[in-house]
Structure formats: structure tokens, C-alpha cells
Amino acid sequence: MDLDTAVGYVLKRATVALRAAMDAALREHDLTVPQYSCLEQLAHQPGLTNTELARGTFVSRQAMHQLLATLKSLNLVHGDDGGRHERFTLTTDGARRLTGASTAVAAVQERMLAPFDPEQRRRLHADLTTCAEALDRR
């Protein structure tokens, strides 16, 4: 009934609040949230392609395309330029910028999760994953 729609509502509310907090934290590092997300992915999985990064950042290929163009012009990422299917990696500048930004983001998320103990955090993580998978099915 009303609770059903309310779950979608608070999901949106939490996401907006997290987005705003991350934006504020990353502004001091001159990074946007999608840019940070892209760098973070490349740190964990070097050699990803444009499309793979787009999937992980939840944006379109086209958006990631010009996002990568910006990051390349800033010397934060580097493409191996193997013709098509170019694979990207962090530059040393990119890795340095990421470390600062990553701790700032970690602080934001620690603030979000402060009311929860480790077990509750694991449960919340699992529940949200379950929600996403239930929607992606079919």
C-alpha cells in the first residue's frame, strides 16, 4: 500500500542525499561524482574499455566517452590507444588525485553508515543488491 511507494521514495531520498554530500566532498578535489566513479573503477580494474566503464558508472557510452576525453586532457587517465577497444588506466597523477578523493568519499559514506554496526551494514548491502537484482530480472 503506502509503504511500497514509500520504500521507493526513501531510496530516492537517500540517493539524493548521498549524491549531494559526495558532490560537496569531491568539489575540494576538483572532481565530479561520475569522474570519481570512473577513476575508482580504473583503480580496481585497470584496462577497462569505454563501454565497461559506462556500465559501472551507470551512464551511457556517449557520456563516458566525453567524460574520458576530459580526464585524458587532465592527464588523469591514459588510453593504450590500441585502435578500437581502447583500454584505459590511471596515470600517476590520476592515482594521486584518487587517493585524496577516495578518503573524502569514504568519510562521507562513513557518516551515512555511522548509525549501523558492521552486521547491519552487511545486511543493508545485501538487501539493496537483492532489490536491484529483483528489478533487473526480466
Which residues of this protein are in contact with a second copy, per CB under 8 A? Answer: 1, 3-8, 10-18, 20-22, 40, 58, 102, 105-106, 108-116, 120-122, 124-125, 127-132, 134-136
Choosing among a second copy, DNA, none, which partner's interface includes residue 13 (Cβ < 5 to 8 Å by kind)?
A: a second copy
CA distance 37 to 51: 14
The closest alpha carbon to 87, from 115, 49, 51, 114, belongs to 49
Phi and psi torsions of 58, nearest 5°? 65, 40
Cα 16 to its chain centre, rounded Å, is 14
Tell me whether residue 73 or residue 119 sits nearer to DNA (CB atom).
Answer: 73
DSSP string for 109-131: HHHHHTTS-HHHHHHHHHHHHHH
Give the shortest CB-118-to-DNA separation in angstroms. 32
Residues lying near DNA in the complex (CB under 7 A): 32, 34, 49-52, 58-63, 65-67, 83-86
Tell me whether residue 40 or residue 52 sits nearer to DNA (CB atom).
Answer: 52
Q: Beta partners for 69?
A: none
Choosing among DNA, a second copy, none, which partner's interface includes residue 24 (Cβ < 5 to 8 Å by kind)?
A: none
Burial class (CB in 10 A: 0-12, 13-18, 19+), 97: buried
Tell me whether residue 82 or residue 115 sits nearer to a second copy (CB atom).
Answer: 115
Tell me whether residue 69 or residue 106 sits nearer to a second copy (CB atom).
Answer: 106
